[in-house]
């Protein structure tokens, strides 16, 4: 499958789902929704611009954009199928007036406080005459379950990272630096079809590998290192996410044990993923194994998260997220163990939740690889 073979994305009727969820969660007290998060606007309308405000009203949607995005927004929202009116404002005054006109007949307008700063809320309060009412994360909740075209894009992104990593792994023993490896990965991902990276690629070696979100530096990879590589690609707005850990030459026995424990924990987590299982239970099964092995205090983050238009989104695979996984959700399973001064190990796959288990999208080898450092003159 190539980008030319991707199924078309359809945003048709997603506004209907928003109205239904508003009705269910607010007991019909709120029948309109203000949407300011650009990922949520894209999911609802197809619009990919960098600025805009959407109001989902009882019978239609209104997208308000500035003069940069008039033509683009009208073209991209044609496929929304529901009536989506685009209002283009050429000045701040025109944009404020458009917001006031669009909402003047609405009794109340819901908004997700996670989307809006205090300053933005104060500004909206002066433009919208209707009562602004806090509501739960309506659109992020609906975005959890992915359609097949969405999954295809994430699979292509994952495939690009797999291909790039397979070419770069042999370079780990060539005396290169973390930044060298990062640069090679980023270039090769694009060559294999990714439009961009999903996030700043992590290459962490030696003691740096004990920092889960280390930024690559000019440190050379040497004998005895663990090397954590966390890499993701972006295809048509959709992300992938994968981590592998490599051992270079003869490593400390503790590092070797850490790799075995994290690998076994991650496989247990994958085996536990299926529709109906609580997201927090996947975290717990990974964590319990690591705790029993004596490394509980060195597992410092959650086991995973949802992925889609954002690299981190619902559902959260962590303690306290007591919601069941659903068919079509795409999540990571990524336990890790980190020992300050020594190094770290993290292994991560991106998977699609199915009725009976999960489908893995990331296929790079995960087995323990003791790569031998090449001698240089």
| pLDDT tens for each residue of 328-367 | 999 999 999 999 999 999 999 999 999 999 999 999 999 7
With 70 as the cut, is the pLDDT of residue 159 above it?
yes
Measured CA to CA, the distance from residue 113 to residue 84 in angstroms comes to 24
Lowest mean pLDDT of 107-121, 193-207, 270-284, 323-337, name the range: 107-121
* The predicted structure's pLDDT at residue 154: 98
Domain boundaries, given as residue ranges, for the chain: 3-142, 148-371
Identify the band that residue 130 occupies on the pLDDT scale cut at 50, 70 and 90: confident
Q: What does the pLDDT average to over 279-295?
A: 98
Contact between residue 207 and residue 341 where contact means Cβ atoms under 8 Å apart: yes
**pLDDT, greater one: 125 or 39:** 39
Arithmetic mean of pLDDT over the chain: 92
Question: Tell me, which fold does domain 3-142 have in CATH?
Answer: Creatine Amidinohydrolase; Chain A, domain 1 (3.40.350)
Comparing CA positions, the residue from 162, 161, 150, 226 lying closest to residue 194 is: 161
Q: What is the pTM of this model?
A: 0.93
Query: What tokens appear for 280 in the block?
Result: 């927090």
With 90 as the cut, is the pLDDT of residue 4 above it?
no
Read off the pLDDT of residues 306-316 as tens digits, 9 standing for 90 and up: 999 999 999 99
* The predicted structure's pLDDT at residue 377: 42
Read off the pLDDT of residues 253-266 as tens digits, 9 standing for 90 and up: 999 999 999 999 99
- The rounded percent of the chain whose pLDDT value lies above 70 is 96
* The predicted structure's pLDDT at residue 35: 95
Q: What does the pLDDT average to over 92-103?
A: 86
Identify the band that residue 201 occupies on the pLDDT scale cut at 50, 70 and 90: very high
* The predicted structure's pLDDT at residue 91: 84
* The predicted structure's pLDDT at residue 69: 83
With 90 as the cut, is the pLDDT of residue 99 above it?
no
CATH number at 148-371: 3.90.230.10
């Amino acid at each position: 499958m190539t980008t030319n073979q991707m199924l078309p994305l359809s945003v048709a009727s997603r506004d209907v789902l928003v109205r239904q969820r508003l009705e269910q969660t607010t007991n019909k007290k709120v029948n309109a929704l203000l949407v300011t998060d650009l990922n949520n606007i894209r999911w609802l309308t197809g619009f990919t611009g960098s600025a805009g405000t959407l109001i989902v009203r009882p019978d239609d949607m209104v997208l308000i954009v500035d003069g940069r995005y008039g033509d683009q927004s009208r073209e991209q929202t044609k496929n929304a199928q529901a009536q989506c009116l685009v209002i283009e404002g050429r000045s701040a005054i025109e944009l404020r007036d458009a917001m006031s006109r669009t909402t003047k007949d609405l009794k109340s307008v819901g908004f997700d406080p996670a989307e809006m700063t205090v300053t933005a809320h104060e500004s909206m309060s002066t433009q919208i005459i209707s009562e602004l009412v806090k509501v739960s994360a309506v659109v992020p909740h609906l975005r959890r379950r992915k359609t097949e075209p969405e999954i295809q894009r994430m699979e292509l992104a994952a495939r690009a990272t797999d291909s790039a990593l397979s070419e770069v792994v042999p370079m780990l023993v060539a005396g290169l630096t973390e930044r060298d490896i990062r640069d090679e990965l980023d270039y090769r991902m694009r060559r294999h079809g990714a439009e961009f990276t999903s996030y700043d690629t992590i290459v962490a070696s030696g003691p740096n590998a004990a920092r889960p979100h280390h930024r690559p530096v000019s440190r050379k990879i040497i004998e005895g290192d663990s090397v954590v590589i966390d890499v993701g690609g972006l295809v048509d707005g959709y992300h992938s996410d994968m981590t592998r850990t490599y051992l270079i030459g003869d490593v400390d026995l503790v590092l070797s044990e850490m790799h075995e424990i994290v690998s076994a924990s991650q496989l247990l987590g994958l085996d536990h993923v299926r529709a109906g299982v609580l997201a927090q239970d996947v975290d717990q099964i990974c964590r319990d194994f690591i705790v029993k092995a004596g490394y509980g205090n060195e597992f410092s983050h959650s086991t995973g998260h949802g992925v889609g238009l954002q690299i981190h989104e619902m559902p959260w695979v962590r303690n306290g997220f007591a919601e069941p996984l659903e068919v079509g959700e795409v999540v990571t399973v990524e336990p890790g163990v980190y020992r300050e001064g020594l190094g770290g190990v993290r292994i991560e796959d991106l998977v699609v939740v199915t009725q009976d288990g999960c489908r893995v999208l990331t296929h790079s080898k995960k087995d323990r690889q003791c790569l031998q450092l090449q001698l240089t003159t």
